[in-house]
Structure 1
Amino acid sequence: MEKKFNYGDRLKELRKPTGNKNAKKSMEELCEIFANEYGLNVNKSMISRWENGTAMPDNKHVIAYSKYFDVDINYLLGVTNIKRRMSDNQIGESVEKEVILNRVLENLKRLDKEKLEQIEVILEKLEKLDMDTLKAYTRIIK
């Protein structure tokens, strides 16, 4: 049986992140933030229904969540499980980088867990290399 996605879990996770007591927001605090920063009239009951999955926030509320918590709307809506920051989605020179990242991601999806773990180790080491060393390694691999 396929597990249905519950957007409410994501909303609750943003409001009450695990492991970071300072980042937690009460429903009252979130209502005030939405009112003061986004001009939205939200009450605790609405947030509770959204988080429990009995109601869906409309677009302006989803956008407010995305902006305030700096998270990609696609993650909020369950289009992706990758929790990217909204501020990372910039148009311009990063478009080429996004295309490359998407191709890499598609290749990574085809790998098993063991290979992915090895790729993670390699990436950590790659990050520390200067470009000349990296180019030398690339020539060896080709």
Structure 2
Amino acid sequence: MFRLKELREEKGISLDRLSMDLNVNKSTLSRIENGLREPKQSFIEDCSNYFDVSTDYLLGKTDIKNPNQVVKSLNPIFSKRLRELIKEKGIVLNILSERLEISTDLLSKYENNIISPKSDDIVKLAHYFDVTTDYLLGTTLVRNHIDTVAAHKANPHKDLPEEAQEQLNDYIEFLMNKYKK
């Protein structure tokens, strides 16, 4: 029992995407997934590295995905949002890698929730996709800075005096009018 399809679906990776990432023909992957072809040892090792699981797990010899892995990303929302933004933008990892000067391997690990992203990379990704770092990290549903300001308008800081709250509302109104599309 080779767990390729299970892992691919669990990570939300299409057969086309996996074919591209592993540089393996799509039909070959399909035959391996459906048990019609035995995978080569080099392919098993590539899959093990790609999904960050042990070869024993891939081959169905154990249910422990990676006995050596101590720390896994604690933010699956980041990975999910990164995948969504990549899909929305219609960009492939190797092009994104070149544009942001982040290795394709590292981007793949971020995208598949294998490791936590470096803070510099979070900033680069947020800037590239024109979203806030808070959105990318999952601490807000608001995608961009202008919406963030507008979201706070409905609930000004209650510790401010009434005059300051009015000035804050006026300033927010000014900014909203200035940046209208």
The alignment's TM-score, normalised by the length of structure 2, stands at 0.40
Amino acid at match of 2:125: Y
Percentage of matched positions with identical amino acids: 27
- Cα separation, 2, equivalents of 1:16 and 1:102: 34
Matching residue of 2:140: 80
- Residue 116 of structure 2: which of 36, 45, 56 is its match? 56
Matching residue of 2:175: none
Q: Secondary structure at the match of 1:54?
A: coil
- Residue 90 of structure 2: which of 12, 17, 24 is its match? 24
Q: Secondary structure at the match of 1:30?
A: helix
- Cα separation, 1, equivalents of 2:127 and 2:80: 18
- Residue 12 of structure 1: which of 51, 58, 83 is its match? 83
- Cα separation, 1, equivalents of 2:80 and 2:105: 16
1:68-107 correspondence to structure 2 within 5 Å: 68-82=128-142, 84-86=143-145, 88=146, 99-102=152-155
Distance apart, 1:89 and its partner CA? 6.8
Gaps of 5+ in 1: 18-22, 36-41, 104-142
Distance apart, 1:54 and its partner CA? 0.7
Distance apart, 1:57 and its partner CA? 1.2
Q: Does the CA contact (< 8 Å) of 2:75 and 2:116 recur in 1?
A: no
More helix by proportion, 1 or 2?
Answer: 1
Gaps of 5+ in 2: 1-73, 157-181
Please provide the CA RMSD for this pair. 2.4
Distance apart, 1:102 and its partner CA? 3.9
- Cα separation, 2, equivalents of 1:26 and 1:46: 14
Against the structure 1 CA distance between its residues 99 and 81, is the aligned structure 2 distance closer, same or farther, given a 3 Å change threshold? closer
CA deviations on 1:63-91 (whole Å, 9 max, x unpaired) are 00111111011111111123x224x279x
Count the aligned residue pairs: 82
The alignment's TM-score, normalised by the length of structure 1, stands at 0.50
Please tell me whether Structure 1 or Structure 2 has the larger radius of gyration of its CA atoms.
Answer: 2
